Structure 1
Amino acid sequence: MSKEIIPAGQSISIAVLFISGSSLFMGASGESGNISWIALLLAILLAVPLMLVYSRLHVLFPGKDLYDMLIAVFGAVLGRMLSCLYIWYALHLGSLVLRNFGEFSKTVALTATPMIAPMLVIGLLCVWVVGAGMEVLGRSSKFLLLFSLMVIVFIELLSVPKYEYHHLKPLLDSGWGLVLRDTAGSFTFPFAEIVIFLGAFNVLPAKGSARRVLLSGTLIAGMIIIVVTLRNLLVLGPDILSSLYFPSYVAVSRINIGDFLTRIEGSSAIIFVTALFIKASLCLYVTCNGVSKVFKLKSYRSVVLQMGLIMVYLSGFIYKDIMEMQYFAYHIYKVYALPFQVVIPVMLWITAEILSRRKSSKSI
């Protein structure tokens, strides 16, 4: 089977849609109210050094993905054990994304339809595109990102008459405590979730493409999330914003241009579906890639259907209701995801640097 290579432009599109993903509709962690956008800025600043660590791993291990790195640095036994942890994390994250869409459909869009139906449709679509290959996912993401940006700009322009700028005041009235708490939440969800992309580093071109992809993806997605968060805050206000499960849908539903252009929240729902489709597809690919590496299969394609159905099935019972979903996303997830996003990658990077310097000194 020929090796799949995705150009940097398509990889950036995947990274942007992956990071923005669920945050476009669920919003970022928002306990700080009218200064949640400051927490987002701080989270982006924290994410930049982490992206440099991830990109350094690509330089140290060109042409290898996360599972190859773990096995090469920590050995066959410990490396495969850590790989199994990342297989679980990718599978779990994909299930969380599908459940976000299921709860959205049940709460807002398709209230009379069983929640498993829309999740199964998206899950099977992810199975199809991952089975077709990462090159198909890359080309699809480039088109979907262009479409999403056009819709976002259009909606933002229409929302300007609804802006209430007094919602931004008073600034920092509750102190820095809530801001720092929201910074930690926004750092882990969604920015540091791009650690999943390390499981697909084998499809990136060599020579520094990872740094361009990760930094560009983080900055572009961060700008999109900040713009959407500010729009929701200016339209709805901090009190209403904190009480909603899907604030973006409600904010867009308030657009009314001369009683002619109304009820356009369906267009924003399309953006949500496209972003979560790319995010769930990448999670599925990384899961299947990890299974093929740990169990030494010839191709990841042989387990795409099985892992996709497991992902859909897991998303069906992972939460009891939407309140538990939101509590996990904003309170538990920041602790649960930190070892996968920061601790293990930093340990991998430090160990790889030590081994690389020892190898170079011996060669000298």
Structure 2
Amino acid sequence: MTNLSNHQLFTLMFIFEVGSTTLFALGINAKQDAWIVILIALLIGLVFVWIYTELQNAFPDKNYAEIIISILGKSFGIPLILFYILDCLWHTARNLREFGELINLTTLPETPLWIILSLFLSVSVYTLLKGVETLARASEIIFPILIIFMLSIYILIYISGDVDFKKLAPVLGNGIKPILQTLPSVVMFPFGEIFIFLMYWHYSNDKSSVRKTTAKAVLYSGMLLCFSLIIDITVLGPKFTSIATIPFVETLRLINIGNIITNIDTIGIIIIFFGGFFKMSIYLYAIITMLTTIFKLKTYKLTLILFSIFLLWFSVAFEPSYAYHIWMFPFDVHYFTIIYSNIFPLLLLMIYWIKKKRAKL
């Protein structure tokens, strides 16, 4: 039986939330007020944490696929789970492609993309073949390294003298409208994505603390992302932050302390790599668990290997370039993923409440 401690769940969720978000300037369409977007989205995200954990509390020993079938029955539940698998495939392929492109752009420009993706995916598959507990233990090791790296980077950026807080002014200079327009995408990415842990919370060895642990992970990661974006804007300015390929890396490249401490963007790439690895692995394990749940498959390892081969092909074939990948992001958020991460869980909870109330009559 798989058992995860509160600390293991916390570190998994924290690293997952940071994940690929450092590749993007979240809410930057609101310009210098993007940090306000993150804070509001964080508060809304905590409301959805309550919704997700309420579903889990109703079925403490079941994963999300089993919860869906329990609420909707097999006739409606299995088709919905298949759509969830497609959604998670989309996320996993995009995450894999993101970090392949990152390595290709920054460190290995001459290496074929498919080789980078193969190596990256192989590490994930090897870890998952050992079980989700191995992934959780790895997150406990990586978590303090991630925090130390991030804190060190913030200190070095401040010491280098490139931070100018005047770039955050004027607050609400363009009114509230840009914030409201940008808000839905940030609510979903990254905070709404925490719904995927409905596939993991039933492994907790202290189910009464799942909600508290999840809320802490979302809150702390949200604060970190908000601070990181403030640093990007105060160093690069809102205009350059919005057009930079990877704002976080561009910020690190400006660090120069006495011509001694320079070119530390490699640390930023390592941070992004860690986040990407765990985010992709968490989605990948969720997909395999969904497949084995609805099709009653006994061969977890074979399913994982075969699906990973398909995932590699899909991530290479579907997107012709990184520019196309970025272009697809608004469509991904507004017309696709938000339905799965925010709308469906709420509807499922409402249906469960209605069925529970009728059963008492």
Name the TM-score class by shorter chain.
Answer: over 0.9
1:299, distance to aligned residue in structure 2 (A): 5.1
CA change 1:63–1:299 in 2 (3 A) is farther
1:208, distance to aligned residue in structure 2 (A): 2.3
Question: What is the alpha-carbon distance in structure 1 between the residues aligned to residue 352 and residue 204 of structure 2?
Answer: 20
CA contact (8 A) 1:28 1:186 kept: yes
- Any idea what the Cα deviations from partners look like across 1:240-272, whole Å, max 9, x if unmatched? 111112000010111011000111110111011
TM-score after normalising by structure 1: 0.95
CA contact (8 A) 1:62 1:206 kept: no
1:301, distance to aligned residue in structure 2 (A): 3.0
Unaligned runs of 5+ in 1: none
Mean Cα displacement is larger for which, 18-27 or 44-53?
Answer: 18-27
CA contact (8 A) 1:48 1:215 kept: yes
- Any idea what the Cα deviations from partners look like across 1:208-261, whole Å, max 9, x if unmatched? 232023211111110111111011111111111111120000101110110001
Partner of 1:215: 215
Mean Cα displacement is larger for which, 281-290 or 86-95?
Answer: 86-95
TM-score after normalising by structure 2: 0.96
1:290 equivalenced with 2:290 (yes/no)? yes
Question: What is the alpha-carbon distance in structure 2 between the residues aligned to residue 184 and residue 269 of structure 1?
Answer: 28
Partner of 1:130: 128
The one-letter code matched in structure 2 to 1:239 is K
1:56 equivalenced with 2:54 (yes/no)? yes
CA contact (8 A) 1:16 1:220 kept: yes
Partner of 1:103: 101
Please show how residues 67-106 of structure 1 align to structure 2 within 5 Å. Answer: 67-106=65-104
CA contact (8 A) 1:127 1:304 kept: yes
- Any idea what the Cα deviations from partners look like across 1:133-170, whole Å, max 9, x if unmatched? 11101110111111000000000000012101221112
Unaligned runs of 5+ in 2: none
Mean Cα displacement is larger for which, 59-68 or 291-300?
Answer: 291-300
Question: What is the alpha-carbon distance in structure 2 between the residues aligned to residue 5 and residue 124 of structure 1?
Answer: 25
Partner of 1:117: 115
How many corresponding residue pairs? Answer: 359
The one-letter code matched in structure 2 to 1:232 is D
The one-letter code matched in structure 2 to 1:198 is L
CA contact (8 A) 2:65 2:293 kept: yes
CA change 1:293–1:21 in 2 (3 A) is same
Report runs of 4+ in structure 1 exceeding 4 Å deviation.
Answer: none
Please show how residues 1-364 of structure 1 align to structure 2 within 5 Å. Answer: 3-160=1-158, 161-298=161-298, 300-359=300-359, 361=360
1:97, distance to aligned residue in structure 2 (A): 0.6
The one-letter code matched in structure 1 to 2:136 is G
CA contact (8 A) 2:5 2:206 kept: no
CA contact (8 A) 1:126 1:308 kept: no
1:51, distance to aligned residue in structure 2 (A): 0.4
Partner of 1:329, secondary structure, is helix
CA contact (8 A) 1:20 1:275 kept: yes
Question: What is the alpha-carbon distance in structure 2 between the residues aligned to residue 343 and residue 299 of structure 1?
Answer: 32
Partner of 2:312, secondary structure, is helix
Mean Cα displacement is larger for which, 286-295 or 182-191?
Answer: 182-191
Question: What is the alpha-carbon distance in structure 2 between the residues aligned to residue 173 and residue 242 of structure 1?
Answer: 17
